[in-house]
Amino acid sequence: MPSTLHDLSFEQLAAALELREDSQAHLAAKAEITVRQLRALLEAAEAQKRAAEAQERAAEASATSATAVQRSSHLILAFIVVAFASVFVAMVSAIGSAFRHIMPISQPSIRDKAS
């Protein structure tokens, strides 16, 4: 026979509950069941607290990741703007070069200066 109520199984406690309600064994079993229920509730509350803390850490990590992605996208946008500016400068240079070949700027020749 178990030495304390803590050592009793739930089946043994349930059997003690079948005794007269005013008996010491019934009252003790009822108290032990209540204590075990409260312990289980406390353990569940602690587990929920740990889960909430883990979710909070995950949310913080997600926010940090989102900030990093935002910074990265800003850098990519800056690179794209610089690339477009480079393409625009190259295009203007190419157009200018093409016009110079099509319509060369006439420079006075030596004969024109002698006259």
Question: Rounded to whole angstroms, how far apart are CA atoms 94 and 102?
Answer: 12
Domain extent listing, the chain: 5-105
Prediction pTM value: 0.54
Q: What is the mean pLDDT of residues 85-108?
A: 83
Inter-CA distances, 110 with 2, 84, 101, 106, Å: 126, 44, 22, 12
Assign 17 a pLDDT band (cuts: 50, 70, 90).
confident
Amino acid 5: pLDDT: 72
Comparing 58 with 107, the larger pLDDT belongs to 58
pLDDT band at 61 (very low <50, low <70, confident <90, very high): very high
| C-alpha to C-alpha distance for 14 and 17, rounded to whole angstroms | 5
Q: What are the structure tokens assigned to 32, written together?
A: 């032990």
Q: Return the CA Rg of the chain.
A: 44
Tell me the CA end-to-end span of the chain in Å, nearest whole number.
136
Q: What is the pLDDT of residue 29?
A: 86
Dist. CA 56–CA 79, nearest whole Å: 35
What residues contact 10, with CB distance under 8 A and at least 6 apart?
Answer: 33
